[in-house]
Amino acid sequence: MQQAPLYLSNPGLVNALGSGRESVASALWQADTSGMVEETGWIPQRSIPVGRAQGQLPDIPAHLRRFNSRNNQLLLAAALQIQADIEAAIAQYGSHRVGVVLGTSTSGIAETEQALRVLAESGELPAAYDYAQHEFGSPSRFLSEYFGLTALAYTVSTACTSSAKAFQSARNLIRHQLCDAVIVGGVDSLCHLTFNGFHALESISSSLCNPMSSNRSGINIGEGAAVFVLSRNASAFQLLGIGESSDAWHISSPHPEGTGAKQAMQYALQDAGLSARDIWYLNLHATATPKNDAMESLAVAEIFSAGVACSGTKPYTGHTLGAAGATEIAICALAIEAGRLPVHHWDGQADAEIPALNLVTAATGADTEAPRICMSNSFAFGGSNASVILGAGL
């Protein structure tokens, strides 16, 4: 049965590029990496680039102080940018028909880290600490209560595919008539847990990440949030297709031949009723780790055998982990809106051992005649894979 089309509002977003659609787009089109700042204290005896979100963050209201965390402040900063869209959905459908589905991998772990330091020093947890700050469900519960919603609200946590997979969950809520509109996206904040974990895997670069280069040496960690309103109301962007797979190859390494990545891209194209030639731009997962970039280049070269304009945008934002999928879907939305392609920022030293891709340069011109249809890839630990396709709406 033909499904009714679903649409996404303009995104609300905050990350190392800036805060708000206009600010982020301006920095993106200038290929500005200045938001990636050198910081110490995350990794012993190392200074590393970190994608710290820009802009003043709003305070959490006193009546929701049990949700007080930097993670939820980032989320609120993004959500307030699309407050008019959220309130319009509530006015049209009622608070009982507007859901929330978000992705995160950190939630308020940073606040728990701080609380445990106090516990170790004093023998007591801080009076202001509430475990609700830490729970993975916290972002969705917080945003639902902030806007007075009573429909389904939950969080997806599948590492770096979290917020990409949230779009599938949000779409299902509407298709199965459980909601009429869903606030969908993702959020992640900086914390020692993730830095220490990736450091233990020897996956953190001491310099700006260098995706697809023969000199790539690992990721830069970032933070951020990106949220949309999904509904059947025609709006800025149409959600065309979603593909998911789980190859379960290894707990932390992708399948070397990109089997699950290929499946996710194929499923997304099938879901959208499109061929690979219809994709105008592909946002690569492109973490700049040796294994991820190798498998993704293999997968992309096979699916897009005729080539596709593509780039990895993590040198601008850092790898925002659970927020990466939504952040890069938002970047696709900015590309559609502007008719421009994000430049692939790297040293230009191609890896002869992996397939060459059509990486966007400053001289690359977007095809102005082709429909602006974008795919965004997200791949995660445990073989979790997701690809999302969107195009212009109104």
3-state secondary structure the chain: CCCCCEEECCCEEEECCEECHHHHHHHHHCCCCCCEEEEEEEECCEEEEEECCCCCCCCCCHHHHHHCCHHHHHHHHHHHHCHHHHHHHHHHHCHHHEEEEEECCCCCHHHHHHHHHHHHHHCCCCCCCCHHHCCCCHHHHHHHHHCCCCCCEEEECECECHHHHHHHHHHHHHHCCCCCEEEEEEEECCCHHHHHHHHHCCCECCCCCCCCECCCCCECEECEEEEEEEECCCCCEEEEEEEEEECCCCCCCCCCCCHHHHHHHHHHHHHHCCCHHHCCEEECCCCCCHHHHHHHHHHHHHHCCCCCEEECCHHHHCECHHHHHHHHHHHHHHHHHHCCCCCCCCCCCECCCCCCCEECCCCCCCCCCCCCEEEEEEEEHHHEEEEEEEEECC
Contact criterion met (CB below 8 Å) for 321 and 194: yes
- Catalytic pick from 134, 319, 344, 345? 319
- Rounded Cα distance between 100 and 309, Å, is 33
Catalytic annotation, pick one of 160, 179, 332, 374:
160
Nearest to 287 by CA among 313, 308, 263: 313
- Strand duo 18-19 + 12-15: pairing: antiparallel
- Which residue in 360, 321, 381, 51 sits closest to 209, CA to CA? 51
Q: For residue 212, what are its two tokens?
A: 């697809």
The verdict on whether 199 is a catalytic residue reads: no
Distance CA 168, CA 162 (A): 10
Distance from C-alpha of 372 to C-alpha of 392, rounded to nearest angstrom: 6
160 is catalytic: yes
Which of 134, 199, 255, 285 is catalytic? The answer is 285
What are the catalytic residues? 160, 285, 319
